[in-house]
Amino acid sequence: MNIRDKVAVIGVGCSKFGENYDMSAEDMIVAAASEAYADARIEPSQIQAAWVGTLSSAMAGNALADPLKLFNIPITRVENYCASGMDAFRNACMAVAAGMYDVVLALGFEKLRDSGQRGLGTFGTHPVIGYGTTAPSLFAMAANRYFATYGIDKRALAKVAVKNHHNGTMSPKAHFQMEVTEEQVLSAPLICSPLGLFDCCPTTDGAAAVIVCRADIAKSFRPDPLLVKGIGLAVTSGEPYLKPGFAYTGFPATAQAAQSAYEQAGMTVKDIDLVECHDCFTITEILNYEDLGLCKKGEGWRYVEEGRASIGGEIPVNPSGGLKSFGHPIGATGIRMIYEVAQHLWNKAGARQVKNAEVGLAHNLGGPGSIGCVTILASS
Amino acid sequence: MNIRDKVAVIGVGCSKFGENYDMSAEDMIVAAASEAYADARIEPSQIQAAWVGTLSSAMAGNALADPLKLFNIPITRVENYCASGMDAFRNACMAVAAGMYDVVLALGFEKLRDSGQRGLGTFGTHPVIGYGTTAPSLFAMAANRYFATYGIDKRALAKVAVKNHHNGTMSPKAHFQMEVTEEQVLSAPLICSPLGLFDCCPTTDGAAAVIVCRADIAKSFRPDPLLVKGIGLAVTSGEPYLKPGFAYTGFPATAQAAQSAYEQAGMTVKDIDLVECHDCFTITEILNYEDLGLCKKGEGWRYVEEGRASIGGEIPVNPSGGLKSFGHPIGATGIRMIYEVAQHLWNKAGARQVKNAEVGLAHNLGGPGSIGCVTILASS
């Protein structure tokens, strides 16, 4: 049960994230893939297989084949709710580890702000809608339970928003480059109590790409490939919020996926230099700290308040700005996290650079908290 | 680029196919998986990871996790148009070959005849609809071009319908157990000229499952595991029918996938004892004969007319009854083909048994002919 050191990341790319009314899904796919090809020093013809993560309906491998003219090779479309991107990356890594392919592409995308296009805009129903709820209302329940359990209030959430918006100002490709103050966050319009506007990630268009290859040939492409140390995926019941036994103060799928990734990597949280995690809502980031083992249960709110999640802190979390500020084009997010971790491990993250970063963890969450995916990458 | 002999099939299962108004998607999933568990002599708790193939919108791993109570393990949803099932199987095989898991489940399903259920019934748009066409109208163009190129007429298509309906009478789980005569086929209502009612596969509910494990431990489960010899997947442009250069008389994605599978297996078509292929329309089966190398280009119509595709013929094709008679629940079909090939290799196919079958080929086609997937299985 181990993928450690069999597979390497040799290039990453990312389109501008935002309300890209001037870009089609195809435009963003081409932007992300082209940057990844250049970063990996490869030609498109060297791609032997591909995986695409998206929540859009019935896209199939043609979602990549046509815009990228990647014809006559295998392309699989993976969908796993909001964790579609990282699970596409995971399946790509396993295929390379199996010896089936030497160099492959994993790409995630979503076009959410403009759904008039054929095919690419037919966004399926988000799973939580089927329960008569919305994403904010479900995560609001988690926030209220967390508050009641640990005796805190929404000021804790605001710290996450302030931190991630600050980080976003240093992320040129992020949806927002805009500081927010704690007062602004706390006085923003309520979306679903206690979550206000700045507690929720935006609706964003974007695409991100990663080039994966056999670890033993990676240095023929670049001197500093990144090694995949472990990837865990776990699926729990899709109806946790409706079940009496669900605690609401964490997502077991995240904890399970993290445990699997740490075990594969032979690492603990002490080895991690930075984390990109799934802050679809501010409360989610606090729960993620605890589920990923950055701090104890019930102490996540302290972790951000004490600055331990800030750049320069104990383990910087979401130096990119996170979903909160970088945006959350569903299928793109998990790959965008790999992109961000790579920027830091390659010391290319500019003003938001986490110093001396050698090991990074990325965490993608899907559905009503039922899908957790965790990847650990390290410098070689 | 090889998966040969690394992975084994140790159990298969299949729900009844048909207009299953009395079964939910969950019911069919449980029926298929339970049969596969029993066939493999395993308990559900031995499943370490799973893949699910379906075209239904935004299902994620929860499509399997909840009905099967397969919690806390990785489950990936794969979608590749009508080839979703076989590509789910392919990704499962690669993960096992990578050493990530020992025993995994691949399951495909679709609920097409009753879409009132939450989630499971939200069937995405078939890709061809986006082009302002329907599946019958696209494949009718191929039929007309084939007729014009080779100077034949729709009597050739009727031979396929007669053969596959005959085979279906011996398939207890098939949608139809009903002989049709050539006269009935030729006088049936036109769906899209030249394709009549009996040239088109039906709209079917169903699920099918396969248990995949490491080849080196397969005999600890059963004495006669089947070995995966090769799996090819190829994606061509999603708009072949709209492009002037497209020949219409074959699907390059099928030919490419077959070539890859044959190469991995170290085999040629001469080694194949039976074929399950994607006869979504009768013309498609004739084109498949040619694309898979069973006969030369332009001779597919003769292949069926001369009885070479019949049970007892040169290479029996679709002894199950095929999509035509067994039915085509989109995501289930590719896995159902693996199920059928396994019945023959295990000498359990009853009245439709292909004698002395040791090597079988299964072929799944997706979208407007743009996705081809081919698997070769052999007795160990």
What's phi and psi for B165, nearest 5 deg?
-70, -35
Cβ distance of B119 and A125 shorter than 8 Å:
yes
Q: Residue B275 forms beta bridges with which residues?
A: B317, B361
From A322's Cα to the closest Cα of chain B, the distance in A is 23
Residue A140 lies in a domain: yes
Does residue B181 belong to the interface with chain A, where contact is any CB pair within 8 Å? no
CA–CA distance, B231 with B335 (Å, rounded to integer):
13
Any domain includes A1: no
Are A49 and A143 part of one and the same domain?
no
Residue A226 forms beta bridges with which residues? A9, A379
pLDDT at A89: 98
pLDDT in tens, B144-166: 999 999 999 999 999 999 999 99
Check CB contact of A58 with chain B, cutoff 8 Å.
Answer: yes
- Is residue B117 pLDDT above 50, yes or no? no
Partner B, chain A 255-284, Cβ-Cβ below 8 Å: 256
Residue B119: pLDDT over 60: no
In sequence order, the 6+-apart residues with CB closer than 8 A to the CB of B42 are B10, B11, B103, B211, B221
Per-residue tokens: B275: 């074929």
Are B172 and B214 within one domain? no
For residue A166, indicate whether it is catalytic: no
Based on the residue annotation, tell me whether A82 is a catalytic residue of this protein: yes
Give the mean pLDDT of A225-251.
Answer: 88
* Same-domain pairing of A190 and A70: no
Contact, A20 vs A113, CB < 8 A? yes
Last residue of a domain, which of A191, A225, A259? A225
Per the domain annotation, does A279 fall within a domain?
A: yes
Answer yes or no: do A79 and B74 touch at CB < 8 A.
no
* B42 shares its domain with B26: yes
Packing angle of the helix pair A84-97, B84-97 (nearest 10 deg)? 60
Verify whether the Cβ–Cβ distance B71 to A235 is below 8 Å.
yes
Same domain, A257 and A354: yes
Q: Tell me, what amino acid is at A124?
A: G
Q: Are residues A149 and A263 in the same domain?
A: yes
Pair (B67, B190) in one structural domain: no
B240 lies within 8 A of chain A by CB: no
Q: Are residues B69 and B161 in the same domain?
A: no
Q: What is the CATH number of the domain that holds A122?
A: 3.40.47.10
Contacts of range B290-294, beta carbons closer than 8 Å, 24 or more positions apart:
B290/B249, B290/B250, B291/B250, B291/B251, B291/B252, B291/B254, B291/B255, B291/B258, B291/B372, B292/B254, B292/B255, B292/B258, B292/B361, B292/B363, B292/B374, B293/B255, B293/B258, B293/B262, B293/B268, B293/B269, B294/B269
Q: What is the pLDDT of residue B246?
A: 80
Chain A residues closer than 8 Å to B61 by CB: 80, 233, 235, 370-371
Among the listed residues A165, A175, A328, A344, the single catalytic one is A328
Give how far the C-alpha of residue A138 lies from the chain's centroid of Cα atoms, to the nearest Å: 20
- Kindly tell me the burial class for residue B236, based on how many C-beta atoms sit within 10 Å of its own C-beta (0-12, 13-18, 19 or more): buried
**pLDDT tens digit string along A103-122?**
999 999 999 886 543 333 33
B321 and B194 in a common domain? yes
What CA–CA distance (Å, rounded) separates A358 from A343?
Answer: 11
DSSP string computed for B200-254: B----BEEEEEEEEEGGGGGGT-SSPEEEEEEEEEE--S-GGGSTT--SSS-HHH
**B173 and B296 inside one domain:** yes
Question: How far A260 CA lies from chain B's nearest CA (Å)?
Answer: 10
Residue B34 lies in a domain: yes
pLDDT at residue A256 in the model: 97
Per the CB < 8 A criterion, the answer to whether A282 and A197 are in contact is no
Q: Is residue B2, in this structure, part of any structural domain at all? A: no
- Assess contact for B211 and B103: CB atoms under 8 A: yes
Please determine, for residue A307, whether its predicted confidence score (pLDDT) is greater than 80: yes
Average pLDDT (A199-223) is 97
Interface of B with A in 186-225 (CB under 8 A): none
Indicate if the pLDDT at residue A93 is higher than 70: yes
Quote ipTM for the complex.
Answer: 0.91
Of A125, A238, A367, Cβ closest to residue B122 = A125
Which residue is closest to A330 within chain B, CA to CA? B58
Distance, in Å, from the CA atom of A183 to the CA atom of A196, rounded to the nearest integer, reads 12
Q: In this complex, is the C-beta atom of B375 within 8 Å of any C-beta atom belonging to chain A?
A: no
Q: Which contiguous run of DSSP H or E holds residue A33?
A: helix A25-40
Task: Out of A134-143, B186-195, B314-323, pick the least confident.
Answer: A134-143
In a domain, B218, yes or no: yes
Do A254 and A335 lie in a common domain? yes
Domain containing residue B55: 7-126+204-225
Which chain B residues are within 8 Å of A73, Cβ to Cβ?
A: 234-235
Give CA–CA dist A12/A208, Å, rounded. Answer: 8
Q: Within a domain: residue B297?
A: yes
Mutate to test the interface with B, among A6, A79, A86, A251 (most CBs of B within 10 A): A79
**Active-site entry in B165, B175, B278, B328:** B328
Task: Count the domains in chain A.
Answer: 2
Are B95 and B214 in a shared domain? yes
Q: Considering the domain boundaries, does residue A2 fall inside one?
A: no
Q: Which of A82, A93, A192, A280 is catalytic?
A: A82
Distance CA B252, CA B246 (A): 10
